[in-house]
Chain A
């Protein structure tokens, strides 16, 4: 048997399985998007192009409210988380070992390791107790919970950026008469910006996606887009939900693409 195309990288059948996996991953999403433009109610029978479900979604007061709440919550929480994570990254990178460092890492990464449902009910219990004590039922709980949850995600790219940064650059700045603050202001911070932007974007997407924690922390009338959708899924859903999901997907896609481009460029 002669195989002119022998390649050590080829394993028979793997390509087919990979394509199958990609199709499986994308087909349901494609169907979801396509039928958001269907003029009928079906998810399988195409009855003609229509934007009526988008129109319905836009005219749905509740959808508008929860979308706006989701966006500003994500903005506030990821903004806070980015500031805190930047400080934490500066505090934990390139320092000599100090007692409690492992503890700090564990605390920062804790939201990544503990299942969301556990964090969710823990916050439910905690928030319930505070509500009884203080009577406060505002958005503060959600902001705090989302911020804490976003910190590890914002921390990762910022820390990675700091660790790959050439430490001699700061030495060079000090050698050229820069004070600690000037070295930070003119050298470290500008070089850290891509990491900070990436951290903010990750935090934003994570906050936007978080459903379990929000579900357990929210007070009445504090639904976000994901918890609203979760509630709606119990009923018979119309393609209006497809339209909402499609818009949501488009937003995530934009952010992820931007994130991808930023982190790619760093390598060059």
Chain B
């Protein structure tokens, strides 16, 4: 008799058009970036097709202009890396501290109003990041809302300089990435079996003990997912530090962009971009490993 036909053998071909676009306009160019990071910079941007590790060398080190043999760490670069990682971690922490109670608050509303609260947290998520950054800028700039109000009230005599500081970037990032923490936390809490919380209280736990020993471990997956979702775009941030940090308080994203502007060292820019990608992929791999292990243990 006839062999049962493989009904869906051809179906993956439906993906082909999307894959063509994705490969040409997203994934393919990434490979070019890898290649560029091993080439020699051209005079006015661009590259000369000569293999060199100089770009990767310059990611971390610098040579003395007059004595090429004298090698030192590139302090300017290291400062930027440190600021990127440190600000991203702080952003994640702030989002977690404020996001957890917020998600809990939403998850414990009656179903009718819960949708509304959820909607309220979703709106910023889908509204333009640039506009939200602009809104923060208008609040904290020297003649912005806070300074104007404080000056009028006589609390201060001259405006507090908040723009173009680490604080401004931190505030801006925590502000724009907050929904990314609240949403996965809410998803985890929405699935939370409140009978377990009841069981905790029934077994004489105090509120703090229930929070620490029952609720937190149960919503941990949401915490980790939220932290990754905040940390990754924070490390890759470009718009927020550009607007709120100005030219001096740079993060990794701005350092990369700089190499394609006035600095015009494309290979160095490519190598820095790879460095950022490595950090992001590292964080993702860490997360996926953790999630898989956790899932395996709970099944």
Contacts and interface: CB of A to CB of B under 8 A. Distances in A.
Whether chain A touches chain B in the assembled complex (some CB pair under 8 Å)? yes
Contact of A148 (B22, B99, B201): B22
Given A87-B14, A91-B15, A107-B22, A28 B29 contact: no
A57 B182 CA distance: 35
A231 B269 CA distance: 22
Band of interface residues on A:
35 or more
Contacts of A124: 260
B215 to A, nearest CB: 8
Given A209-B129, A230-B130, 10 more contacts: A9-B108, A18-B104, A44-B145, A90-B14, A108-B18, A121-B256, A121-B273, A126-B28, A145-B25, A151-B18
Interface stretch (B53-61, B69-77, B116-124): B116-124
A125 B136 CA distance: 32
Interface string A1-44: 00000001111111101111110111111011001000000111
A31 B138 contact: yes
Interface in A36-61: 42-45
Contacts of A119: 26, 29-30
A257 B120 CA distance: 10
Nearest to B176: A25
A165 B177 CA distance: 33
B235 A115 contact: yes
Contacts of A84: 17-18, 21
A45 B11 contact: no
Contacts of B180: none
Interface in B155-198: 175, 178-179, 182, 194, 197-198
B134 A245 contact: yes
11 contacts: A9-B197, A17-B98, A21-B178, A22-B120, A107-B26, A114-B26, A128-B46, A230-B130, A230-B242, A245-B131, A252-B126
Contacts of A121: 33, 256-257, 260, 269-270, 273
Nearest to B45: A128
Given A28-B135, A211-B239, A96 B8 contact: yes
A119 B98 CA distance: 31
A249 B12 CA distance: 39
B101 A13 contact: yes
Interface in A95-137: 95-96, 98, 100-101, 104, 107-108, 110-111, 113-126, 128-129
Contacts of B19: 88, 104, 107-108
Given A43-B143, A121-B257, A114 B277 contact: yes
Contact of B238 (A151, A212, A252): A212
Interface in B231-272: 232-233, 235-236, 238-239, 242-243, 253, 256-257, 260, 266, 269-270
Contacts of B27: 107, 110
B130 A211 contact: yes
Contacts of B281: 113
Contacts of B273: 117-118, 121-122
Contacts of A212: 238-239
A111 B27 CA distance: 8
Contact of B29 (A95, A125, A245, A257): A125
A117 B238 contact: yes
Contacts of A147: 21, 25
B124 A25 contact: yes
B174 to A, nearest CB: 9
Contacts of A139: none
Interface residues of B, number: 91
B280 interface: yes
A162 B131 CA distance: 34
B264 to A, nearest CB: 12
B82 interface: no
Contact of A123 (B25, B144, B152): B25
A149 B11 CA distance: 23
Interface string B22-65: 11111111101100100000000010000000000000000000
A113 B284 contact: yes
B132 interface: yes
Given A28-B139, A249-B127, A116 B238 contact: yes
B18 A28 contact: no
B113 interface: no
Contact of A249 (B17, B131, B179, B239): B131
Interface in B74-104: 98-99, 101-102, 104
B219 interface: no
A226 interface: yes
A8 to B, nearest CB: 5
A15 B105 contact: yes
